[in-house]
């Protein structure tokens, strides 16, 4: 799926929604009324994000449930023997995360990390594959700053994480990483290959426990289409790092 198809999917999810206005209070009120509609947006994002090169590559995310193999038969020895039963136990899926509580936490942390914004709301969806040992959560947060409405996407993967540093940096390349005191790293990548002038800037925290958190921001409002509405992306690298490294943003 191309970047253009991703944008069309996001646009289609809210295509019948009136254009956003720049009155923050009205946007907040309408954002709360439209939470169910935002869930549809996140559901579209969760599917399309997993399929496009502008975000995570998710190999095996929708893999079928592991099969229990049972082999029964006599053991050929010189002594009498009973049948031997061999069972392969499927992997135990991770404990589900309360996505509503995670969304509320993200709203509070975002407002504390990013100054002078109005947080409209956040939603998460669990996009883990059935029977998968990896839990993958995809989220989207809507906010308004001095330049108008926009959003930020959040992706969280438990170990074994669904993407490596090489996969994260493969398409657009990565800038110099930030190496943290605990031995983990934060990588940055910027996708500005679109002909329409759109920019997607992402930071990914590769944690020492094998999990990963990716935060992406834009120079446009993803809910309204691929038209740049600002000169640069909406978050600084320091803000992206503060969010991506927050221990409260976890899927496990």
Residue 75 lies in a domain: no
**pLDDT tens, position by position, 78-134:** 454 444 444 444 455 567 789 999 999 999 999 999 999 999 999 999 988 766 788
CB atoms within 10 A of CB 232: 12
CB atoms within 10 A of CB 78: 5
Residue 49 lies in a domain: yes
Residue 149 lies in a domain: yes
pLDDT at 233: 97
Residue 76 lies in a domain: no
Contact 50, 59 (CB under 8 A): no
Residue 80 lies in a domain: no
- Between these two residues, 27 and 188, which has the higher pLDDT value? 188
Contact 190, 179 (CB under 8 A): no
CA atoms of 34 and 23, how far apart (whole Å) = 16
pLDDT at 141: 96
Task: Please determine, for residue 206, whether its predicted confidence score (pLDDT) is greater than 60.
Answer: yes
Least confident of 32-41, 85-94, 144-153, 202-211: 32-41
CA 129 vs CA 63, 65, 142: distances in Å: 6, 8, 26
Residue 252 lies in a domain: no
Residue 68 lies in a domain: no
Domain that residue 98 falls in: 3-60+94-244
pTM of the model: 0.65
Least confident of 50-59, 105-114, 204-213, 236-245: 50-59
pLDDT at 243: 98
CB atoms within 10 A of CB 124: 27
Name the average pLDDT for the chain.
74
pLDDT at 145: 96
**pLDDT tens, position by position, 209-234:** 999 999 999 999 998 888 999 999 99
CA atoms of 235 and 190, how far apart (whole Å) = 12
Give the containing element (helix H, strand E) for 191: strand 185-191
Count structural domains, the chain.
1
Residue 251 lies in a domain: no
């Amino acid at each position: 799926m191309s970047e253009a198809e991703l944008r069309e999917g996001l646009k289609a999810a809210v295509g019948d929604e009136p254009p956003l206005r720049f009155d923050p209070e009205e946007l907040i009120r309408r954002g709360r009324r439209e939470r169910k509609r935002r869930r549809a947006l996140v559901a579209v994002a969760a599917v399309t994000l997993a399929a496009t090169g502008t975000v995570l590559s998710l190999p095996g995310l929708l893999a079928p449930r592991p099969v229990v193999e049972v082999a029964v038969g006599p053991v050929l020895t010189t002594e009498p023997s009973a049948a031997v039963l061999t069972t392969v136990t499927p992997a135990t899926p991770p404990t589900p995360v309360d996505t509503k509580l995670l969304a509320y936490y993200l709203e509070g942390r975002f407002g504390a990390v990013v100054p002078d914004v109005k947080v409209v709301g956040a939603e998460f969806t669990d996009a883990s594959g059935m029977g998968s040992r990896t839990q993958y959560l995809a989220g989207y947060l809507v906010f308004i700053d001095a330049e108008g409405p926009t959003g930020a996407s959040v992706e969280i993967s438990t170990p074994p994480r669904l993407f490596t540093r090489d996969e994260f940096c493969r398409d657009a390349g990565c800038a110099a990483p930030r190496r943290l005191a605990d031995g983990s790293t934060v990588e940055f990548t910027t996708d500005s290959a679109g002909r329409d002038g759109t920019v997607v800037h992402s930071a990914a925290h590769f944690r020492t426990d094998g999990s990963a958190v990716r935060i992406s921001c834009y120079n446009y409002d993803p809910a309204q289409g691929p038209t740049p509405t600002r000169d640069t992306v909406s978050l600084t690298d320091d803000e992206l790092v503060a969010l991506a490294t927050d221990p409260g943003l976890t899927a496990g």
